[in-house]
A and B are shown apart, each in its own frame.
Chain A
Amino acid sequence: MYNLALMKDTVALRPNTFGSPPHIAILEELNKKYANRVVHDVGLAICVFDLVEAGEGKVRYGDGCLWYKITFRLVVFRPFRSEIIVAQVKSNSEEAVRLTLEFFDDIYIPVAYLPHPHAFDPNDRQHFWVPDRTTEELLDEPLPQRNYLEAGEYIRVRVESDEFYDDEPGPPKVIEGVAVQDDTYRRPPYRIICSIAEAGLGLISWWDGSRGGGAMDLDEEEG
């Protein structure tokens, strides 16, 4: 799930930080800049791991800051493709199931990656999976046969792909001299697509045997 990324950056220390040791001030400055931000094609930055190398602080003409060239390692969240991770179901919609990890929640399972046969219950607004099908129409299945993807449940998923988007916000819109909020949907900068269409994947309670009828054996699924 987590990686170390080796990064290089130039940091400006303001004069009010000159009192503290430089490495502390530099770490603080780097964390301020990176923590909880998505670095394009790298992942979601959590915090600075350590400083690898730091140049001499230099004063430039025009400001009172000390500028340091820093090489450092950053802890980033970026699960690799085909990694198995445990997440929590956040919400269901007709197109996808959304998952959350508390600190990151742009994780989706598109309908195509749900186990077969599955259906969307329009009353509960939840997807469910029916391992042992008994009726022709999935929505006629008796309730105990249905395995719902309930919000809050822990779920084991495989990472299929991830996408980075670097969408620039356009110029601010002004109508008759009044600024208006831009309500258009903005894509998340980092999004993970996951799958549960495989043996062993899905809600953890499906597989740990705590539900009599729902869980199945590996052999059954494979056959």
Chain B
Amino acid sequence: MEVLNARAAMLSNYEVLTLLSELEAERIANDKAAMAAKEAAGPEHNPSPAAPVDTNWRTVEYETLKWLKAPKMATTQQDKNSIARLAKDLRRYDLTKAEKLQIINLMPVDQAALYPIIEDFEDRFDISILEEINRCVQNAMIAPDINYPPAPSSNAGIDSYAPVATVFDEPQYPEDDYYAGEHYEEEFVDEVAYGAPAEAVGDGAIDEDEN
């Protein structure tokens, strides 16, 4: 194991929620397909049992989803479009990337919640900005949808996810010559099957020319 970059990009809570929901739906669909295949094949047919899903992975997935779907969390009042709109609104203010990410994660609708997020507030902004940003957040909220994501039985919604809608940072891949010494005869880059890479959706929510 080797860590090339411990912090290649930051993810918003909503992105993690989308990713995990998608993986969960995928697995449930696979399980169902396997069950159906087994039933269709009849009792005589006895294929090698599918490898059980690792419990560690299952646990963290379940608990993270449970947390992100908790009614108090802002993720229940967001969707892809609302985040994009909020990010666009926030461009007007001279906020750092981390501050924007926190505003999107927490969706502060009152001044008390917003105030600690912005560093050195008094020196940088006028107090009226708080209200303006609160209003932006309020505008970007959608009605809380506890049933999010769509039930796994309906596959229509799941296919349409663009998994990396708002990756905040271009991933920093190592230099090409990094691999020069390695014996890579053929390499494949598996980007198609596992979500479009960040650059494919580069016109996403957060402006990227920021430092």
Contacts and interface: CB of A to CB of B under 8 A. Distances in A.
Given A36-B59, A84-B117, A2 B3 contact: no
A84 B116 contact: yes
Contacts of A73: 8, 171
A69 B182 contact: yes
B66 interface: yes
Interface residues of B, number: 64
Interface stretch (B37-45, B98-106, B150-158): B98-106
Nearest to B189: A53
A6 B173 contact: yes
- Judged by DSSP, the binding face of B is mixed
A159 B56 CA distance: 26
Given A52-B189, A218-B112, A46 B60 contact: yes
Contacts of A43: 6
5 contacts: A4-B11, A31-B54, A36-B57, A50-B194, A200-B115
A interface bracket (residues with beta carbon within 8 Å of B): 35 or more
Given A28-B51, A154-B72, A5 B184 contact: no
Given A75-B11, A218-B112, A46 B66 contact: no
B56 A35 contact: yes
The 7 closest A-B pairs by CB, nearest first: A35-B57, A103-B63, A36-B60, A207-B112, A102-B67, A50-B194, A200-B116
Given A16-B51, A73-B171, A102-B63, A3 B8 contact: yes
Interface in B4-50: 4-13, 15-16, 19-20, 23, 48
A158 interface: yes
Nearest to A215: B112
Interface of A: 1-9, 16-17, 23, 27-28, 31-32, 35-37, 39, 41-44, 46-47, 49-56, 69, 71, 73, 75-78, 80, 82-86, 101-103, 154, 156, 158, 198-201, 204, 207-209, 215, 218
A176 B199 CA distance: 63
A207 B112 CA distance: 6
B195 A50 contact: yes
B84 interface: no
